Amino acid sequence: MVTSAAGNPRLLLRRLRDIMQERTSAQDRLDRIVTLIANNMVAEVCSIYLMRTGGELELFATEGLNKNAVHNARLKKGEGLVGDIALHARPLNLPDAQSHPNFVFLPETGESPFQSLMGVPILRDGLCLGVIVVQNKTRRLYDEEEVEAAQTIAMVLAEMVASGDLVSPNELEETGIRRDKPWRAKGSAIADGVAIGLVVLHEPRVKVERLIAEDPEAERARLDRAVSALRSSVDEMVDHEDMDLLGDTKEVLEAYRMFANDSGWLVRLREAISTGLTAEAAVERVQSETRARLMRHTDPYLRERAHDLDDLANRLLRHLAGLADTAAGAALPDDVVLVARAMGPAELLDYDRTKLKAVALEEGSPTSHVAIVARALGIPLVGRIENLVDQADNGNQIVVDGERGEVHLRPAPDVVTAYRAKLAVMAQREQEYAALRDAPAVTRDGALVALNLNAGLAVDLPHLDETGAAGIGLFRTELPFMITARLPNLKQQTDLYNRVLDVAGERPVVFRTLDLGGDKVLPYMHLDAEENPAMGWRAIRISLDRPALLRYQLRAMIAAAAGRSLNIMFPMIAEVAEFAQARALLDQELKRAAALGQTLPLSVRAGTMVEVPSLGWSLEPLLAIADFISLGTNDLMQFFFASDRGNPRLGDRYDALSPAFLRFIKACVEACRTAKKSIAVCGEMAGRPLEALALMALGITQLSMQPHGIGPVKLAIRSVELAPLRAFLETHLDDPGHSLRADFRALAEQHGAKLG
Ligand code: PEP
Ligand code: MG
């Protein structure tokens, strides 16, 4: 048995680099590379097979086999030893290759006299692009350094293949490394809207330019420094009191920590450097091999961990390159579509708002905090797109369809044209709406309604002027609590409410006190798990049981409204006594402010959301002590019909325009009329044109909605005659059917309604 005189791997790499720098043909380069490797490893044969379109491995160059076989000898993935290496994406080292069960003889290569074989896959991003094989006539077990050296060369070759240096990129389709083909994927629609823009990877991907090291000692030192910086940053993330702000789940962060501290990983990285690679190239090589190994598993948990390792390797590369963790501070294009695996609300707010067009994520859910911010910013967000980050490159064109929950990456021209047309129609409509900005929301027969805005974050405030809303009908104060790391203190709350009132000026603002619990969770506040959180310990129930938080909030509102009007609304009131208790807390805080000599608000009105049907049967006593009510139809519908508002299966099951629900609303309107108290609607229903007309026809004169609802609702109102709609509802509320929608719509259109 011959043992090798393994050449100096670093020297080998340097020669390889020299070959790559020469101006010569791709074939000539490959021919010289195989000769170089064969000489260096004292092998009689060295061959390079590359994966062709269609998944066949083709002999591209050989030293030692029959040259006529080049570009003629082919193997399927899995066929023969070369195919076996490609299929399993791992090296083989066989002193007696012919006794291996997968050995096949290719007569055209004339390889029969060769006994030993060592081969390694050419991997990139965990995908196999080809195989390098060395063979000897004698029985020989190649030593570990030789296998290592071959893997290092394979890594360098992989980069050359991927950059199109060796094979035309068109021949690489099946390897999946081409990121220039259109790619379309469906996920879930999380925030509405459509946008066309350019991909900006939220976590920048480092392109490894330098593969071969000049000074391995220096590379090792760089690696050690970067690994220790990575470990501290991962520790910091795990210990961060609010992981949601970073968008990552605890499970993922724990996996990062585990991998970052895995000594085997560090050993493999160091070994790769000792073969002559730069620290960056070593990270890529080890990552590619690990990924290939993990991706062979069918266990979804392990495949998911491959993702975590990718993230971690990227983080390490960023440490090596001295790059920031996110692209927020980088120079950005004018139409940014952020692409990330996950993202936190504060991270999204770090980006220049004027440039953000959309967000596309591999994770994300409708109730995630990043979704709340995306909606406030008025940009579409699509989530749950598998493999998105892998597929996308910075600068790729991308369409985000927040209505269908789809993304089109590198879209074909006809897709772009179709979406441009859609955007043009939307822009045209926006123009129509913008033209109505200062016009009153009045029907053709003179019925007037106030169109207000639902808001909750400082980033919502510009919408007031943009939409021409009459005021803020619902300010959801829990949102700022949800997207910060800790409970906002009294000053921070006062400052925010002050700012809201400043921006609103003469326009009225209704602040709703904290509506926590259910799907609105504070990361820093522990709530026990409940079987039915939507009907659980939430909103006013928490506030009354633990009044300190509510009193603080009321204090901040009173201070902010000094010398101005203050409207406060309590959420999820189910019985009059709860409202009385909440109002008593407000009175107590007002007294306290007076005793301290503070300037008090000019006027204070206290009202309640009607979200629990029981309150609809308590309106007379309620209105004796409440100044106004606002129907929160999102929760009201879910409790009225016992139908979870977050369950997509039930989304269309019950209709807000059903006779029963409209009768309920009508009863509320009448009770308010009798009590001479005001009534508004602030659920999603208010922002839909047809529903808005129905609400008006029932006597509602105040609607509060998302910013993009105002234009379409105003257009519908200004184009219609209300009297016939009123008459219709007067006679149809006792109908037995599922919904009045179809008839009501037909009638509204008949009387001029433009419903978009
Ligand atoms: C509602 O329930 O209709 C409402 C406006 O409140 P939220 O959507 O914040 O629960
Ligand atoms: Mg609600």
Q: Tell how strand 678-681 and strand 628-631 pair up.
A: parallel
Ligand 1 atom with least separation from CA of 478: 9
Rounded-to-integer distance, Cα 492 and Cα 122, Å: 56
Rounded-to-integer distance, Cα 579 and Cα 574, Å: 8
For ligand 1, atom 6, name the residue with the nearest CA.
Answer: 632
Burial class (CB in 10 A: 0-12, 13-18, 19+), 642: exposed
What residues have CB less than 8 Å from 642, skipping those under 6 apart? Answer: none
From the CB of 478, is ligand 1 less than 6 Å away?
no
From the CB of 136, is ligand 1 less than 6 Å away?
no
Question: Token pair of 330, please?
Answer: 């980088």
Residue 248 pLDDT: 53
Rounded-to-integer distance, Cα 417 and Cα 280, Å: 40
Topology (CATH level 3) of domain 442-457+633-681+683-756 = TIM Barrel (3.20.20)
* Nearest one of 80, 78, 74 to 53, comparing CA atoms: 74
Residues serving a catalytic function are 369, 682
3-state secondary structure of 431: helix
Residue position matching structure tokens 């975590």:
308
For ligand 1, atom 10, name the residue with the nearest CA.
Answer: 635
From the CB of 635, is ligand 1 less than 6 Å away?
yes
Q: Distance from the CA of 754 to the center of ligand 1, in angstroms? A: 27
Topology (CATH level 3) of domain 216-321 = Enzyme I; Chain A, domain 2 (1.10.274)
Rounded-to-integer distance, Cα 663 and Cα 611, Å: 15
Rounded-to-integer distance, Cα 228 and Cα 235, Å: 11
Rounded-to-integer distance, Cα 194 and Cα 404, Å: 9
Residues (pLDDT < 50) of the chain are: 1-5, 173-175, 243, 246
From the CB of 517, is ligand 1 less than 6 Å away?
no
Rounded-to-integer distance, Cα 337 and Cα 395, Å: 9
Rounded-to-integer distance, Cα 366 and Cα 116, Å: 58
> What residues form DSSP beta bridges with 562?
601
For ligand 1, atom 3, name the residue with the nearest CA.
Answer: 632
Q: Distance from the CA of 738 to the center of ligand 2, in angstroms? A: 24
- Ligand 1 binding pocket mutation candidate from 475, 521, 631, 635 (most atoms within 8 A of CB): 635
Residues shown for the chain: 756
From the CB of 689, is ligand 1 less than 6 Å away?
no
- pTM for this structure? 0.76
- Contact of 720 with 447, CB cutoff 8 Å: no
3-state secondary structure of 424: helix
Report the first-to-last Cα separation within the chain, whole angstroms.
Answer: 82
Question: Token pair of 432, please?
Answer: 């129509």
Residue 2 pLDDT: 39
Residue 102 pLDDT: 85
Residue 509 pLDDT: 98
Ligand 1 atom with least separation from CA of 682: 5
Relative to the alpha carbon of 687, which ligand is closest?
1
Alpha helices in 275-387 (DSSP H): 279-295, 300-321, 345-349, 369-377
Residue 25 pLDDT: 85
From the CB of 125, is ligand 1 less than 6 Å away?
no
Domain locations along the chain: 9-175, 183-204+332-426, 216-321, 442-457+633-681+683-756, 471-606
- Domain 9-175: give its CATH code: 3.30.450.40
For ligand 1, atom 9, name the residue with the nearest CA.
Answer: 476
Q: Distance from the CA of 249 to the center of ligand 1, in angstroms? A: 26
From the CB of 632, is ligand 1 less than 6 Å away?
yes
Rounded-to-integer distance, Cα 614 and Cα 169, Å: 67
Alpha helices in 610-721 (DSSP H): 613-616, 619-625, 633-640, 659-675, 689-697, 707-719
- Domain 471-606: give its CATH code: 3.20.20.60
Please write the tens of the pLDDT for every residue from 158-181. 888 877 777 766 665 444 555 678
Distances (CA, A) of 380 to 88, 196, 375, 511, 638: 41, 10, 7, 26, 25
Measured from the Cβ of residue 715, the count of other Cβ atoms closer than 10 Å reads 22
Please write the tens of the pLDDT for every residue from 475-484. 999 988 887 7
- Contact of 467 with 707, CB cutoff 8 Å: yes
For ligand 1, atom 1, name the residue with the nearest CA.
Answer: 632
Q: Distance from the CA of 632 to the center of ligand 2, in angstroms? A: 5
From the CB of 518, is ligand 1 less than 6 Å away?
no
Q: Tell me, yes or no, if the two domains 183-204+332-426 and 442-457+633-681+683-756 fold the same way.
A: no
Q: Please give the angle made by the CA atoms of 140, 146 and 152, to the nearest 5 degrees.
A: 145
- Ligand 1 binding pocket mutation candidate from 476, 608, 612, 641 (most atoms within 8 A of CB): 476
The string of DSSP letters for 372-423 reads HHHHHHT--EEE--TTHHHH--TT-EEEEETTTTEEEES--HHHHHHHHHHH
From the CB of 512, is ligand 1 less than 6 Å away?
no
H or E, element range at 482: helix 478-482
Topology (CATH level 3) of domain 183-204+332-426 = Glucose Oxidase; domain 1 (3.50.30)
Distances (CA, A) of 162 to 154, 388, 668: 12, 19, 67
Rounded-to-integer distance, Cα 136 and Cα 44, Å: 5
